Structure 1
Amino acid sequence: MGCCNWRCGLITGAVFGALVAILGGVLIPVGDILIETVIEPGTTAYDNWAAAGVVVYRQFWFFDVQNPIEVLNYGTSPVVIERGPYTYKTRYLPKDNIMFNPNMTVSFVLPLGAIFEPSMSAGSEEDKITSLNLAVAGAYSLAPEQFHGLLETLIRMSNSSLFQRRTVKELLWGYHDPLLKSTLGLFAPYNGTFDGPYNVFTGKDDISKVGIIDRWKGEKLSFWNDPYCDMINGTDASAFAPGLDKKKPLYFFSSDICRSVSASYERSYSLKDIEVYRYGLLPSTLASPIDNPDNRCFCRNFKTTKNCTMAGVLDLSSCQEGRPIYMSLPHFLHGSPSLLTDVLGLSPNEEHHSTYLDVEPNTGFTLKFAKRIQVNMMYGPSDKITVLKKVKDYTIFPLVWMNEVRKQDNLAVCLLQMLLNQRLCSICAVSMFICNFFFLMLVVSATWSCLSISEN
């Protein structure tokens, strides 16, 4: 009888020991997955977030005007052809001024720089483009009508016109303008500047908040004078909280357009042997307030938007230091039909002109994205400005569209695969636990029977 109790005790101890060991093997890898997605030195998320291992390129396509004389003399619609891409390596510098704060956020700035990549471009930076004159269009938009006579005098004295011919480099990064007697450029100044500072949550106290932007430039938004439009929602799109749900959209903030947007799940596919979810912007993102009432607070100019009935264009003047810049998707994708008749030669295409994110669902890391936006300016009729006397109506003119693409380097992909393999091991451990559980239950049953016999 004593021998049986001794054996039963050993069996019972072995059962509980095995259960503890198996449960430990399951729970530790699952915990590691969550730890590795926290923005904290030593984690995979931090290495992916802070360093410059991610390659980001900006590709530019310009709209070259084919009939500038006909537009000036007869008021015909501009005809454009697309020129590009002209590709630059950007965001090759790591985040700077990183500082962890007591409220579980981390602050930083994004240094900006651009290096021309000839091998990925259709020509050189010295290629010339006939495009809208930034100074003339800008001054026209900003000057009240009673000052158009003075503006006409300045235009004549500087020998300026509605269109100008400039190099790619000048249009992007700056040139000395004779009308305004200052440096103008679509992205000037750029090199040596920075975006931010940003404050984002680390996820250390709440993993669902990891990467979510708390503040930009030290404060909340105030561009749109509306609580809804001024909300900063989501991350910067480089990563999201782990464990994506296909039914829920992803929110991210873009400093290029000074607002937050959402992307919805479209499909799944394999990227370098890693399953990713593709998310894309909905057509309602830039819909007119008639079709999407949430966009009413983004409508700033009743004249250029035809009393807020125009779709596809976002007025950015309030967040671009007063510069009359209008953002859209390339070739006015999802825009009002009038945009494609006011300027001829555009061909919107969902495949080539939409924005998307490819996100690994378990970790929330973005492996690839294509952020596509178009920069436009406006000009319109004037009885006093000679170069605008033949213009019949307000025109949103496309200057350039940009495709910002991100691809992870091989080292980052390998690190992610190791993390996912660790998760796979935990899944295998769960499966083994289930199988072993039933086997151990048989052992427990035998142990119980043994104890029962001993007692009898």
Structure 2
Amino acid sequence: MCCNKKCWLIAGTVIGALLVILGGVLIPVGDIIINGEIDKEAVIEEGTIAYENWIVPGSTVYRQFWIFHVSNPNEVIEGAKPILQQKGPYTYLVRHLPKSNITQNTNNTVTFYQPNEAVFQRNMSIGSDDDEYTVLNLAVAAAPGIISEMFLGIVDSAIKQSNSSLFQKRSVREVLWGYRDPFLEAIPNFIISDKTTGVFYPYNGTADGPYVVFNGKDFIQKVALITRYKRQSTLSYWSDDYCDMINGTDAASFPPSVDKNLRLYFFSSEICRSIYGEFEKEYKLRGIKLYRFVVPKLALASPLENPDNHCFCTDLLISRNCTGSGVLDLRACQGGKPIFLSMPHFLYASDFILDSLDGLSPNIEEHQTFVDVEPITGFTMHFAKRLQVNVYFNRTDKIEVLSKLQSEFMFPVVWLNEVGI
């Protein structure tokens, strides 16, 4: 870790203010100086240090990807348990473009879009992103979940016509960012019109938003809190208003005076929900005290373990009557595609998910998400967002390459580690 531009706010407003305090009798005055500087410099408006770090992150942000290579594809089709090997990291620079269409509103909020662009970093990767691996065929695996059962005969014919199968060789770049799929090309347009697929397709050249956040001018404890996303104050993905709430910030910063006894809430459009971190430890980085908050096991636990998650259970069959833990059903916000999110290597997931696959080794140190926050200013100094993208599919007699599978699968495609350094 290194001390980035965000240190200037901390050093300039906190440490600098402390240096002018000449004894215990002046401590109340010192607190006023410190709090006054923070209230001024943490506001999201032109001319403040917070604004400079808000437009473009003060940390350089990278995404590391590990692709899941399938060692025994033919055997899996015949009913064997998949043997997986992770291949990576393949690293991309992200979040380097400034926020766009920024508007300071009259109600002390700011509206903006977050542009998306990923730039490959060969020197931080194990090889070229043209490296090829045997991976799950996204289109074939997802087809039964998004195409009406009455058309599965057409799906089976299209698989054979295009010489496709449940697995295929694809480059890292294709898996992540998209490719024209021959199986989809063989499907009539009235069933599926978009012939391109990829885990994060479309990404480059797109923008997330609009977001509306509080700028903190009227009340600094609201700074950076998201009040609207895509012109709505709540989401519409889940079955309950509780799960549809937009809570917290985007995790790049939090309101000042962070209390380690309270949860830190943040919203991520990629996981289609708000989530939270809980205090784990305190440590120092170059003399600056930081609080580490981690996303706990309960955040993705079953409703049996965490009743607050009742409205994230969307399918009684897949979740085994809402007893399954560790995965989040994203179909409602992914156009019906059977995409499920988890922590890498199914950390904290139910045994029945892990038992259907070989080659996974979940561990907290490598696979847990955390944010390290300077508690006085609320600035995130370091973070690691770790997620895994999985496709759910099951055996069906109507599609030959799926007819002999040993069981249903929550099949991992890729996991990522987004870090700010």
Task: Write the deviation string for residues 312-358 of structure 1: whole angstroms up to 9, x where unpaired.
Answer: 11110111122221100000000001111111110000000000000
Residue identity opposite 1:80 in structure 2 = L
Is structure 2 residue 194 aligned with structure 1 residue 154?
A: no
Q: 1 or 2, which has the higher helix percentage?
A: 1
CA contact (8 A) 1:54 1:92 kept: no
Per the alignment, residue 80 of structure 1 pairs with 84
CA distance in 1, matches of 2:38, 2:303: 42
Q: How does 1:268-307 map to 2 (within 5 A)?
A: 268-307=282-321
Percent identity, aligned pairs only, is 54
Q: How does 1:168-317 map to 2 (within 5 A)?
A: 168-181=172-185, 182-219=195-232, 220-317=234-331
Task: Write the deviation string for residues 164-211 of structure 1: whole angstroms up to 9, x where unpaired.
Answer: 110001111111101112111111111111111100011111111111
Which has the higher Rg, Structure 1 or Structure 2? 1
Per the alignment, residue 399 of structure 1 pairs with 413
CA distance in 1, matches of 2:273, 2:399: 35
C-alpha change, 1:290 and 1:25, in structure 2 (3 Å) is: closer
Please state whether the residue corresponding to 1:169 is helix, strand or coil. helix
Per the alignment, residue 388 of structure 1 pairs with 402
Please state whether the residue corresponding to 2:283 is helix, strand or coil. strand
By how many angstroms is 1:157 displaced? Answer: 1.2
Per the alignment, residue 70 of structure 2 pairs with 65
By how many angstroms is 1:135 displaced? Answer: 0.7
Per the alignment, residue 54 of structure 1 pairs with 59
Per the alignment, residue 110 of structure 2 pairs with 106
CA distance in 1, matches of 2:83, 2:410: 13
Per the alignment, residue 42 of structure 2 pairs with 37
Residue identity opposite 1:60 in structure 2 = F
Please state whether the residue corresponding to 1:203 is helix, strand or coil. coil
Residue identity opposite 1:193 in structure 2 = T
Residue identity opposite 1:308 in structure 2 = C
CA distance in 1, matches of 2:147, 2:101: 40
Task: Write the deviation string for residues 392-447 of structure 1: whole angstroms up to 9, x where unpaired.
Answer: 3211000000000012xxxxxxxxxxxxxxxxxxxxxxxxxxxxxxxxxxxxxxxx
Per the alignment, residue 417 of structure 1 pairs with none
CA contact (8 A) 1:329 1:373 kept: yes
Residue identity opposite 2:136 in structure 1 = L
C-alpha change, 1:338 and 1:23, in structure 2 (3 Å) is: closer
Name which of 355, 362, 374 aligns with 1:360.
Answer: 374
Is structure 2 residue 337 aligned with structure 1 residue 332?
A: no
Per the alignment, residue 377 of structure 1 pairs with 391
Cα RMSD for the two superposed structures: 1.5
TM-score by length of 1: 0.82
CA distance in 1, matches of 2:376, 2:31: 16
Per the alignment, residue 443 of structure 1 pairs with none
Gaps of at least 5 residues in structure 2 are 1-25, 186-194
CA contact (8 A) 1:113 1:191 kept: yes
By how many angstroms is 1:144 displaced? Answer: 3.5
By how many angstroms is 1:37 displaced? Answer: 1.2
Please state whether the residue corresponding to 1:211 is helix, strand or coil. coil
CA distance in 2, matches of 1:186, 1:26: 49
Gaps of at least 5 residues in structure 1 are 1-20, 408-456
Residue identity opposite 1:42 in structure 2 = G
By how many angstroms is 1:245 displaced? Answer: 1.0
By how many angstroms is 1:52 displaced? Answer: 4.7
TM-score by length of 2: 0.89
CA distance in 2, matches of 1:24, 1:351: 42
Name which of 94, 97, 103 aligns with 1:93.
Answer: 97
Per the alignment, residue 336 of structure 2 pairs with 322
By how many angstroms is 1:30 displaced? Answer: 3.0
